[in-house]
Amino acid sequence: MATGAKGLAPRVSNVEGMLEVQLVRALRWQREVFTWVLADSGLEPCEYHALIHLDAREGVRQNELGMLLVRSKVATSRLLAALERKGLVERRDDREDTRSKRVRLTRKGQELLKRARRAQEATSALVARGMTKAERAALVRLLDKLRAGYRAAAEMLKMPLPEEP
């Protein structure tokens, strides 16, 4: 791909290429802003996403949470150990399957998630303030179509498909 001035930015002449470039740029900004907003809570983005899933699925199995987060067993275990050290989650043996652990939010985890979620929602409102409600709805629909397109491409390429939350 050609580069722009001094090789710092890609020069793209087609709409499909610009879509990729703009999407990557938007996601980079999203990650940076999101990480900044979460800093006051002491949470990393991956920890926040784990708490979100745990809030929606009380007592989920550890391996199921890993699939939802698209993380390996080892990475999921390390993430949960960090959240346990912070007192935000607890793991218990699964009564139905002794090889599994069930994970749930502690009261402290629930309270921290509420604060972090409010901060994230306020930031999302700031980000979207330049769009009308109709534009935001259209963007959601278009992003869903884009996700479906990537999924279809992955299927055609015979790639293993990640679990979708």
pLDDT (0 to 100) of residue 49: 95
Which residues lie across from 45 on neighbouring strands? none
**Cα 133 from chain centroid (whole Å):** 23
State yes or no: pLDDT of 6 exceeds 60: no
- Predicted confidence band at 1 (pLDDT cuts at 50, 70, 90)? very low
Is residue 5 pLDDT above 80, yes or no? no
pLDDT tier, 160 (very low <50, low <70, confident <90, very high otherwise): confident
Q: Tell me, which fold does domain 15-129 have in CATH?
A: Arc Repressor Mutant, subunit A (1.10.10)
For 76-102, how does the pLDDT look when each residue is reduced to its tens digit (9 = 90+)?
999 999 999 999 999 999 888 888 899
d(CA 76, CA 82): 10
In this predicted model, what pLDDT tens digit does every residue of 108-154 receive, in sequence order?
Answer: 999 999 999 999 999 999 999 999 999 999 999 999 999 899 889 99
CB environment 35-63: b (16+ within 10 A), e (fewer): eebbeebebeeebbbbbbbbeeeeebbbb
pLDDT-based confidence at residue 161 (cuts at 50, 70, 90):
confident
> What is the mean predicted confidence (pLDDT) over 51-65?
94
In the block, which residue shows the tokens 């939350």?
165
